[in-house]
Amino acid sequence: MTQNLTVLGSTGSIGKNTLDVVARHPDRYRVFALSAATQVDLLLAQCAAFAPRYAVMSSAAHARELAQKIKANSLSVEVLQAPDALETIASHDEVDAVMGAIVGAAGLSPCLAAARAGKRLLLANKEALVVGGEVFMAAVREGGATLLPIDSEHSAIFQSLPEDPATWPRRVQHVLLTASGGPFRTRAPDTLRDVTPAEACAHPNFSMGRKISIDSATMMNKALEVIEARWLFDLAPEQIKVVIHPQQIIHSMVQFVDASVIAQLGTPDMRVPIACGLAWPERVASGAAALDFTQLAALTFEEADATRFPGLHLSWQALRAAPGTTAVLNAANEVAVAAFLDGRIRFDQIHGVNLATLEAVVPSKPDSVLALLALDAQARAAADGLVRRLQ
Ligand code: NAD
Ligand code: MG
């Protein structure tokens, strides 16, 4: 049966990889809707290639420009404007599956709309879960949605776990998230103050969006993934461990109570977890190269150095603090990363902004999306103030 698919954030790194996999299986997947923030020409090209019913842009000006170009190219795609339209295309009756590939907390509301509407939700947008936490998981349960992780580590854990979640608590001892260590794994910590955005975006194994590239360099990406794992697999903070594995061949592992470890391996190519989520529990070709074990030199592992990566530990701290603290951490980090990319603060100041925001903003049990969005705004304002003082 053909699945109707909405891709939220189709012009990004995950969005483009999703469409690459989809294009390999025109009999299985039909693109129903696409969305982008600002990249009009790329979204236009995607509309020409995939003929969706809807295309959503984030501003009125971009939506107008796209609509004109759609008309000039005689395409029959209806152009809508975010934010409301994102929820519409995520929850539309005719949609079977939604790829959540927007970056940041901006993806929370449309992903929640998909969850509430009981869709098959392929979640790359980890920030949505870090901000949404319990509220997000409740929406998935209540909406009867199927939540499938796309983040490679979480896809690996998902693939390594037994199928029945009811068995996880008694069988699983802990999960081990692998981390590449990013571009600065071996750089002298006292030189991190001089890092430029271009250096930080040069990830050793992946080409990714700018925000996640900076997060990989600070290892805040792994911190967000620890929080993501807590919610996806209902784990206690101490059941989530991180180990650096620079080759990125093992994408993560599960250790069971009998000390047996199950891991998922593959070449580092996001089309693998994307294809896995799209087809689950079936398997379809992803386009990724297969591993050649005779060519694998060595798989190495090391502990993350807390001096070099002080942000990593904020994840466990935030999980143990008041509910909502992970939303504060996420908001602070989004503001700090944007400020670094704009040249307003130094690379090594990202952590300071995150830490100080956590001290300044104490959440009072946000139990609804509105409360979470208000907390997100409050934390952004606090982080913004801190950035200004550093400038
Ligand atoms: P990206 O920056 O390449 O793409 C982001 C997409 O979201 C674009 O289509 C952009 O137009 C859209 N977008 C950005 N801001 C928006 C807003 N405010 N409202 C609506 N749309 C907006 O990012 P990416 O690397 O593709 O990452 C997307 C998500 O997937 C992130 O949450 C990231 O952490 C996660 N992820 C990415 C990778 C990867 O390899 N790139 C791996 C694992 C997880
Ligand atoms: Mg990841």
Residue 1 is predicted with a pLDDT of 83
127 CA closest ligand 1 atom index: 32
Q: What is the rounded average pLDDT of the residues 334-350?
A: 98
- At residue 297 the predicted structure's pLDDT band, cuts being 50, 70 and 90, is confident
Note the pTM of the prediction, 2 decimals. 0.98
CATH of domain 3-150: 3.40.50.720
Q: What is the predicted pLDDT for the residue at 202?
A: 85
Domain 321-391 has CATH 1.10.1740.10: yes
Atom of ligand 1 nearest to the CA of 104: 32
Residue 249 has pLDDT above 80, yes or no: yes
Residues 6 or more apart from 355 whose CB is under 8 A from it?
314
Q: For ligand 1, what atom is nearest to the CA of residue 221?
A: 34
> Sorting pLDDT into bands at 50, 70 and 90, what band is 199?
very high
Q: What is the CA radius of gyration of the chain?
A: 20
Binding residues for Mn(2+): 151, 153, 225
Measured at the alpha carbon of residue 39, what is the angle toward residues 66 and 126, in degrees to the nearest 5?
125
Give CA–CA dist 223/275, Å, rounded.
Answer: 25
Q: What is the ipTM of this complex?
A: 0.99
Model confidence at 18: pLDDT above 70: yes
Task: Return the ligand number nearest the Cα of 209.
Answer: 1
Report which protein residue has its CA nearest ligand 1's atom 20.
Answer: 37
Pocket test for ligand 1, best of 8, 14, 17, 20 (most atoms within 8 A of CB): 14
Q: pLDDT tens digits for 263-272?
A: 999 999 999 9
Distance CA 124, CA 40 (A): 22
Residues at CB less than 6 angstroms from ligand 1? 9-15, 36-37, 39, 58, 82, 101-103, 106, 124-127, 151, 206, 208-209, 211-212, 270
Alpha helices in the chain (DSSP H): 13-23, 40-50, 60-72, 84-91, 108-116, 126-143, 152-160, 168-171, 197-201, 210-218, 220-232, 271-279, 314-320, 325-341, 350-360, 369-390
Arithmetic mean of pLDDT, 310-334: 98
Out of 164-168, 201-205, 370-374, least confident range: 201-205
Residue 204: the pLDDT is 67
Could you report the per-residue pLDDT of 354-388, keeping only the tens digit for each? 999 999 999 989 999 999 999 999 999 999 999 99
Q: Whose CA is nearest to atom 18 of ligand 1?
A: 106
pLDDT class of 93 with cuts at 50, 70, 90: very high
Using a pLDDT cut of 90, give the percent of the chain over it.
Answer: 95
- Which residue out of 38, 44, 103 has the highest number of ligand 1 atoms within 8 Å of its CB and is therefore the one to mutate? 103
Q: Tell me the DSSP string of 182-200.
A: -TTTTS-GGGGGG--HHHH
In the chain, CATH 3.40.50.720 covers: 3-150
pLDDT for 207 equals 79
pLDDT, averaged across the chain? 97
- How much is the average pLDDT of 89-101? 98
Give span(s): CATH 1.10.1740.10, the chain. Answer: 321-391
Give, using CA atoms, the residue closest to atom 43 of ligand 1: 151
* CA–centroid distance, residue 201 to ligand 1 (Å): 14
pLDDT at 205: 67
